Amino acid sequence: MAAVRSQEEGGFFAWMMAPERRGPMLVAPALIVLFVMNIFPLLWSFGLSFFNYRANRQDIPDFVGLRFYERVLTDPDVWERFQTTALIVGSSVLVQLILGFLLALMFANQFPLRRVLLMLVLAPMMLSFVSVGVFFKLYYEPTFGLLSQAVRVFTGSTYAILGSPTGAIIAIVIADAWMWAPFVMLLVLAGLVSVPKYLYEAAEIDRASWWRRFRTITFPYIRSLLLLAVLFRTIETFKLFDIVYIITEGGPGTATETIAVYTYRVAFQFFRTSQSSALAYIILFVVIVLTNLYLYAVKQREREVS
């Protein structure tokens, strides 16, 4: 009797896929992976930041409260790394914005080979950080690197851009901007093509100059997208690690050591696990503050528009 009923009801698969269970069952694998790989380590490291613990020792962690937060916040090195990061973020995002903007203005028009060129320009964005890093490392290489070779044509001697602190920062900014200017371009381009053509014509009839049309018609349409681009790129660049680590490893000295590279060093070279956890949470806090600042700006803008 019981066997007959269970056959009627179907097997394990049918039980799992019953309408009331189907949804939760389908999302369960993703949730489990998310929890095991993201949420648990996140909480665990948050916990570790309040304990004295080193990942390369077997000592029992002991609770020290906010000691490492205090240590990080009073560490002059941390402030220096924050300044380096801010400098790189500021200049890189600025260069990306300008380049992306100009590219978008160019690609908003129709011209021969536009599609092919557009694909080429978008390519850097699709590459992995590691390949971009390796590519620029070779590009900047003093003896056979392209840049050095090119400079030698004019000056007669090789040029090691990564040799000086300023040069190294410029090199990093160039690499990052090269990779991400297309992203800004995509956003701005989306804004540019969304401007109805007849508004430009109406403005022309209303005797507006090119600059005035840009200021009063184009810019309002792309302003919010620009803000979004700045937000994305600032947050992303703030976490910049791969490119810097591959091209300069933070050098010369600590000239290009961003806060992300510094955290990596503290965590995996000095094995100050707790201190690096605390630092990571301070960075997270900074990023959250930045995000909210921008979101506030975006909302403010929306209120202006509607």
Residues that bind other proteins (CB under 8 A): 196, 198-199, 201-209, 212, 216-217, 220-221, 305-306
Closest CA relative to residue 46, chosen from 287, 259, 284, 286 = 284
Closest distance of CB 206 from other proteins, Å: 4
Least separation, in Å, of the C-beta of 86 and other proteins? 33
Nearest to 176 by CA among 103, 233, 220: 233
Q: Which is nearer to other proteins, 200 or 232 (CB)?
A: 200
Element (H, E) at 133: helix 129-140
- Among residues 155 and 306, whose Cβ is nearest to other proteins? 306
Nearest to other proteins of 21, 215 (CB atom): 215
d(CA 51, CA 284): 19
63 or 198: CB nearest other proteins = 198
Say how far apart CA 179 and CA 249 lie, in whole Å: 19
List residues bridging with 251 in a β-sheet.
none
| Residue 245 to residue 261: CA distance in whole angstroms | 7
Question: How far apart are CB 80 and other proteins at their closest, in Å?
Answer: 44
Choose between 166 and 306: whose C-beta lies nearer to other proteins: 306
CB of 215 to other proteins, least distance (A): 11
- Show Cβ contacts of residue 213 under 8 Å, excluding neighbours closer than 6 positions: 200, 203, 204
We find the least distance from the C-beta atom of residue 207 to other proteins, in angstroms, to be: 4
